[in-house]
Amino acid sequence: MTASPLLLLRLLGLMLTFGLLGAVPAQAETDAQYRLASGDVIRISVFGEKELSIDEIRLTDAGTFSYPFIGEVRANGRTARELEQLLTAQLKGDYLVDPRVTVSILKYREFFISGEVKSPGGYPYQPGLTLRRAVALAGGLTERASTNRISIIRDKDPSRRPQKATLDTELEPGDTITIEQGFF
């Protein structure tokens, strides 16, 4: 039984409406470029080796985790793919003949927002997050907030120098945002 073209068009429309198309590749692209650091939560799966598969690991303050047979593993600054390659190389030979390792990012590290927002603090990062959405997560701006005096410190920036930001600026995990008071 084949589906009619009209039924296929309706199905495609529903998928587009609910965002079922396009979301996975964007997430996969983000994960491919994403560099792991302290606070990220990952899953490690080794095909056919239940005792080497770990459902949830939070990286330590140093960006490391402990792994069976290997010991302390440094994940900080690596992508999930690079970590897969490292674990595969470490397990191959001594422990397994042909290990198939998969690393997935379960939770990204938090971003932090302070200053003139109603609920300052740390919030979970989500791919595609803009400063406007981050402000909404923090309960919105206070009456005294300035939309022109916003600074951001990127976690990946070793100088830790504040940069000017707008409400349309895209955030990254670990960012620290400060929203200053406006002068009236």
Q: With respect to CATH, is domain 110-181 assigned 3.10.560.10?
A: yes
Q: What is the pLDDT of residues 60-108, one digit of tens each?
A: 999 999 999 899 999 999 999 999 999 999 999 877 889 999 999 999 9
Q: Specify the pLDDT at position 156.
A: 83
Q: Specify the pLDDT at position 93.
A: 82
| Beta strand spans in the chain (E) | 41-46, 54-58, 64-67, 71-74, 101-107, 110-115, 121-124, 145-153, 163-164, 176-181
Q: What is the pLDDT of residues 134-153, one digit of tens each?
A: 999 999 999 999 999 999 99
CA–CA separation, 77 and 50 (whole Å): 27
CATH of domain 31-107: 3.30.1950.10
Q: Specify the pLDDT at position 182.
A: 84
| In the chain, where the domains are located | 31-107, 110-181
Q: What share of the chain is helix, strand, coil (3-state, %, to 5)?
A: 25, 30, 45
Q: What is the pLDDT of residues 62-73, one digit of tens each?
A: 999 999 989 999
Which two structure tokens, joined as six digits, stand for 166? 């707008």
Q: Specify the pLDDT at position 63.
A: 94
CA–CA separation, 83 and 157 (whole Å): 22
Q: What is the pLDDT of residues 1-32, one digit of tens each?
A: 455 555 544 554 544 444 444 444 445 555 67
Phi, psi dihedral angles at 115 (to 5 degrees): 95, -135
User: Stretch 165-181: mean pLDDT, rounded?
Assistant: 94
Q: What is the pLDDT of residues 149-161, one digit of tens each?
A: 999 999 888 899 9
